[in-house]
Chains A and B, each alone.
Chain A
Amino acid sequence: MARENPSGGCPVSHHHHVTELKDPGLFTAPRLKMASMVMVVLGVIGFIGAFFVGPNHGAERAWSILLQGMLIPTYLSLAALFFVCVHSIGGARWVAPLRRLLESMSSGLPITAVVFFLLALPFLGGSYLYDWVNLSWNDVEGHPHTSLFHVYHGSKSGFMTWYRLLLTGTVFITGWLWLRYKLVGISLKQDVDGGCIRNIHRPWAIAYVMFFALSLTFFVWDMLLSLHVNWFSTMWGVYCFASAMQTFLCVLLLLVLWLRRGPMKEHLPKHLLHDLGTWMVAWSCFCAYIGFSQFMLIYYANLDEETYWYILRTQHGWGLQYWIEAVVRWPLPFLGLMSQKVRTNPVALLVICSAVLVGNWMDWTWIIQPAMGINEYRGFYALDLVLVGAGFAGGYLLLVQAFWAKHGLVAKNDPDVLPVVNAEHLH
């Protein structure tokens, strides 16, 4: 009955019935690999250059742009796993043709592991980025660590230290890597053994989602919120989670658009584009909802200890950037992708996803840079920042491609792939 299919049937009807899918096999893209390597080199140049040249050059600038770059592999990998797991828990089969691709997108965590230590170690990035790391490392005479925490004799000072940061960060990253190893391992085993893995995959998926909720919250609390050690917002974890998901969906859609022109042509019919586009609309609304709620509640209550965070981020050009970001991240995908036709149009998806991706990059700059240079605007387009961003994107893509070369693009022996490609779940 059409009633059960709100998508109306428009994206499905153009599709012919497929009886057999050609396995694209292991996949390499030499030109993309070359480009990714160039990007990594540019990133290294950008990072080193930020120490010595540029309008804001210096160690603080270099480490802060490294922090922003680290969000790329971290957010994408964690969100990709979350996406796999949520659909596994809900028993949603429609992602079956995408599953291997999603798993490949979770390959960026080793970069997070390395860069986290560079950023957190007090004698490297930590002291430059975080006052509390610096002071808990060098308890300078006259500036004891506790002086940062003004109430109750600095009762927070025992928690906000460089060694606690290293400890929890290590636990989180180890947990992520281990759960990823388990989840991807179960999926890869199906390639060889076949059969239905739903009941084996689901417990690990639940474990991941629960661990992810808590670990991501505290990870972004430490790495981003604590750039201002006395600011706080209970929404912070949700806010970063929303941004991570939106970024991930953009990248996923861009990869899907690219791969369906080549090796995954048969596996990614239009109705999958439609469903991913719908997710994009939904997450954009969620991002707007969370972002608005956080801003509005702080603006309305007008308490000094909270508003300063937003005041720093609405002056000197940051406010204008925030407006642009807000439009790019919500009205653009919401209105742009409202029509079913547009949601299956590759060009429109390409344009909108790229714009939303830039919108999230603006958001990360907007979170990090005002904490580094008070009362001045440092654009999201600054050369050193863009180079470092490209470096992380390149590194991430290299790991993703290594996964493709080793494990291919599509899950083999998954009984759900063919029915989904034939849109049987929509009838």
Chain B
Amino acid sequence: MRPTLAELENPKTLIHESVTAKDVTFEVLRPIFAKPHPMWWVGLILAVVSFSCMGIAVVVQMLEGIGILGINNPVFWGTYITNFVFWIGIGHAGTLISAILFLFRQKWRTSINRSAEAMTIFAVCCAGLFPLLHTGRPWLDFWLFPYPNMRGPLWPQFRSPLMWDVFAISTYATTSLLFWYLGLIPDFATIRDKAKTKLAKGFYGMLSMGWTGTAKDWNHYERAYAQFAWIATPLVLSVHSTVSFDFAVSKVPGWHTTIFPPYFVAGAIFGGFGMVVLLLVPTRKMLRLEKLITINHLEICNKFILATGMIVSYAYAMEFFAAWFSESKFERHQFLYRLGGDHAWVFWTMTLSNCVAPLFFWSKRIRRSLLGMWMVCIFVNIGMWFERFNIFVLSLEQDHLPASWDMFVGTSWDWMVVFGSFGLFFILFLLFCKFGPAIAIAEVKSVLAYPAGKPEGTGHGSGSGHTAAVSHDDAASDDSKPEGQQNV
């Protein structure tokens, strides 16, 4: 008997045991050769509209200067830097899933790593724009690169953490892109082999770089993949740590605190997983990938959100405690300002979204409910944007010199750019979903219970050694128990 969709979505193993290798190829390639889902068109149009807002704002900014934004003296860093750190953070879940979880032999990563890595690349694209635009004269941004030039004493200031960022992020972007592309090669070859039109054959043939699928090909590929995983692993820590240095090496109250590097990394993974779940819930529906991206995969992501949310809450608490313990007037004032100042709503939005909302994931029912997890992840994303706004803007508003205190009020240009950056991200993601394999075909095949189909008379559940049990706690057996036993 064929399993129903509900059974396929909630399998006892990671992916339902009736799914075969052939199914995987078919399911992943279907959206590429089929006409796009109406939701895809709606999404793309909305994304293009929103990105146009950003385009207009950027053109006006180029003509008028960054004075059109809400930044002032002392709040030199406003929504642009908030966006920058927000988007860099979004990318982190992808690298964590593709590199660290690979080294930890986490089989559940296989269905989601490709799309999460794609999000990394697109998020870095969005992020990279903001410091470049924020320089005010983006056409001179090549000055950031150290190469022999005729600008006299103009040379990048390597003692500035902003320069460290240039290198941290360009390394991150390069490595993530290569790693992602490496994983795509065998899948591009599959598309090439299945393509009907000459154009598609040529396009995907070029992308697959002559992959033939021989044992030698795979041997090289797997070695390269493992090595890339090792290279990408430190980047998960280093990139957002370097971003945190932009703030923490300064003397601004609320910025200079030693826990910033690990706290930013945890927050980035938290926000990154928030975006992964937020996007995968509609994407799997739109591409009809429910069989391959099951509730089990999403539940594990939600557990990550719960855990990293608590790490972030710990960091918030330590910041408050240390500000009080330090007896520094400025630190104490800054944290009181966050709690009850003019922008207190920013702080409380952040706290509710990042510290309270993820706590709903203690409930297994919410962790496994599509609507529930989607709602929580919306909060997580809002919370992470406001977290950065809370740190950067509120600290600058009231720093050491009361005479220069001022409020930040974003102009409509600010908000057009914030809104538009989401448009850019979604355009790239939607195009990828249509033209690329949204799931790593070869990797998913390696975790199937019966890649060649379930043989007749095989016992229930336990299959070959390839069977990947669900997060090791047998979701199915838990399902039969009363709710109270599962949650804790």
Q: Mark A215-244, 1 if CB is under 8 A from B, else 0.
A: 001000000000000101111111000000
In the complex where A234-B259, A235-B258, A238-B262 touch, is A151 in contact with B251 (Cβ < 8 A)?
no
A198 lies within 8 A of chain B by Cβ: yes
Closest to A90 in B: B472
- Bound Cα distance A4, B447 (Å): 9
Of B241, B249, B465, B473, which is within 8 A of A199 by CB? B473
A289 lies within 8 A of chain B by Cβ: yes
Q: Given the complex, which residues of A lie within 8 Å of B322, measured CB to CB? A: 232-234
B328 lies within 8 A of chain A by Cβ: yes
Check A151 against B327 for contact (C-beta < 8 Å).
yes
A3 lies within 8 A of chain B by Cβ: yes
Q: Given the complex, which residues of A lie within 8 Å of B226, measured CB to CB? A: 6, 8
Q: Mark A1-13, 1 if CB is under 8 A from B, else 0.
A: 1111110100000
A156 lies within 8 A of chain B by Cβ: yes
Task: Tell me the smallest distance from the CB of B218 to a CB of chain A, in Å.
Answer: 8
Check A301 against B250 for contact (C-beta < 8 Å).
yes
Q: Given the complex, which residues of A lie within 8 Å of B171, measured CB to CB? A: none
B318 lies within 8 A of chain A by Cβ: yes
Q: Given the complex, which residues of B lie within 8 Å of A150, measured CB to CB? A: 327
In the complex where A293-B241, A297-B248 touch, is A217 in contact with B318 (Cβ < 8 A)?
yes
- Bound Cα distance A210, B465 (Å): 34
A190 lies within 8 A of chain B by Cβ: no
A53 lies within 8 A of chain B by Cβ: no
Check B327 against A149 for contact (C-beta < 8 Å).
yes
B454 lies within 8 A of chain A by Cβ: no
Contact residues of A: prevailing secondary structure: helix
Q: Given the complex, which residues of B lie within 8 Å of A296, measured CB to CB? A: 245, 249
Across chains A and B, the number of contacting residue pairs, with CB separation under 8 Å, is 111
Check B326 against A305 for contact (C-beta < 8 Å).
yes
Of A156, A198, A285, A305, which is within 8 A of B234 by CB? A285
Q: Given the complex, which residues of A lie within 8 Å of B472, measured CB to CB? A: 90-93, 198
Q: Given the complex, which residues of A lie within 8 Å of B488, measured CB to CB? A: 202-203, 206
Q: Given the complex, which residues of B lie within 8 Å of A297, measured CB to CB? A: 245, 248-249, 256-258, 260-261
B231 lies within 8 A of chain A by Cβ: no
Of A91, A238, A289, A298, which is within 8 A of B473 by CB? A91
B76 lies within 8 A of chain A by Cβ: no
B325 lies within 8 A of chain A by Cβ: yes
Of A3, A214, A236, A427, which is within 8 A of B465 by CB? A427
- Bound Cα distance A46, B15 (Å): 61
A181 lies within 8 A of chain B by Cβ: no
Closest to A151 in B: B327
A303 lies within 8 A of chain B by Cβ: yes
Closest to A203 in B: B488
- Bound Cα distance A294, B322 (Å): 14
Task: Tell me the smallest distance from the CB of B462 to a CB of chain A, in Å.
Answer: 12
How many of B's residues come within 8 Å of A, CB to CB? 50
Closest to A424 in B: B465
Check A293 against B328 for contact (C-beta < 8 Å).
no
B182 lies within 8 A of chain A by Cβ: no
Q: Given the complex, which residues of A lie within 8 Å of B314, measured CB to CB? A: 213-214
Q: Mark A145-173, 1 if CB is under 8 A from B, else 0.
A: 00001111001100000000000000000
Closest to B321 in A: A234
In the complex where A6-B105, A297-B245, A297-B256 touch, is A1 in contact with B237 (Cβ < 8 A)?
no
- Bound Cα distance A289, B240 (Å): 12
Task: Tell me the smallest distance from the CB of B263 to a CB of chain A, in Å.
Answer: 8
B443 lies within 8 A of chain A by Cβ: yes
Task: Tell me the smallest distance from the CB of A155 to a CB of chain B, in Å.
Answer: 7
In the complex where A5-B105, A199-B473, A285-B234 touch, is A290 in contact with B262 (Cβ < 8 A)?
yes
Q: Given the complex, which residues of A lie within 8 Å of B325, measured CB to CB? A: 156, 232
A426 lies within 8 A of chain B by Cβ: yes
B137 lies within 8 A of chain A by Cβ: no
- Bound Cα distance A6, B225 (Å): 9
- Bound Cα distance A346, B472 (Å): 31
B37 lies within 8 A of chain A by Cβ: no
Check B105 against A426 for contact (C-beta < 8 Å).
yes
Q: Given the complex, which residues of A lie within 8 Å of B480, measured CB to CB? A: none
Q: Given the complex, which residues of A lie within 8 Å of B442, measured CB to CB? A: 3
Q: Mark A286-302, 1 if CB is under 8 A from B, else 0.
A: 00011001101110110
Closest to B445 in A: A1
Q: Given the complex, which residues of A lie within 8 Å of B447, measured CB to CB? A: 4
Check A235 against B222 for contact (C-beta < 8 Å).
no
Check A300 against B473 for contact (C-beta < 8 Å).
no
B239 lies within 8 A of chain A by Cβ: no
Check A6 against B103 for contact (C-beta < 8 Å).
yes
B399 lies within 8 A of chain A by Cβ: no
- A28-86 contacts to B, CB under 8 A, are none
Of B103, B237, B249, B321, which is within 8 A of A300 by CB? B249
Check B102 against A6 for contact (C-beta < 8 Å).
yes
Q: Given the complex, which residues of B lie within 8 Å of A202, measured CB to CB? A: 473, 488
Check A301 against B259 for contact (C-beta < 8 Å).
no
- Bound Cα distance A238, B319 (Å): 13
B310 lies within 8 A of chain A by Cβ: yes
Task: Tell me the smallest distance from the CB of A17 to a CB of chain B, in Å.
Answer: 13
Q: Given the complex, which residues of B lie within 8 Å of A199, measured CB to CB? A: 473, 478, 485-486
Task: Tell me the smallest distance from the CB of A313 to a CB of chain B, in Å.
Answer: 15
- Bound Cα distance A238, B310 (Å): 14
Q: Given the complex, which residues of B lie within 8 Å of A425, measured CB to CB? A: 105
Q: Given the complex, which residues of B lie within 8 Å of A214, measured CB to CB? A: 314
- Bound Cα distance A149, B324 (Å): 12
- Bound Cα distance A122, B90 (Å): 50
Given contacts A151-B328, A235-B259, 18 further A-B contacts (CB under 8 A): A3-B225, A4-B105, A152-B329, A156-B324, A198-B473, A199-B473, A199-B485, A206-B488, A230-B327, A232-B326, A233-B259, A234-B318, A235-B262, A236-B258, A238-B262, A289-B262, A301-B248, A305-B326
Spell out A's residues near B (CB within 8 Å): 1-6, 8, 90-93, 149-152, 155-156, 198-199, 202-203, 206, 210, 213-214, 217, 230, 232-238, 285, 289-290, 293-294, 296-298, 300-301, 303, 305, 424-427
Q: List 9 A-B contacts (CB under 8 A).
A: A3-B443, A151-B328, A151-B329, A152-B327, A155-B327, A235-B258, A235-B262, A294-B258, A305-B326
6 closest Cβ pairs, A-B complex:
A91-B472, A203-B488, A234-B259, A235-B258, A151-B327, A1-B446
Spell out B's residues near A (CB within 8 Å): 102-103, 105, 107, 222, 225-226, 229, 234, 237, 241, 245, 248-251, 256-262, 310, 314-315, 318-319, 321-322, 324-329, 332, 442-443, 446-447, 465-466, 471-473, 478, 485-486, 488
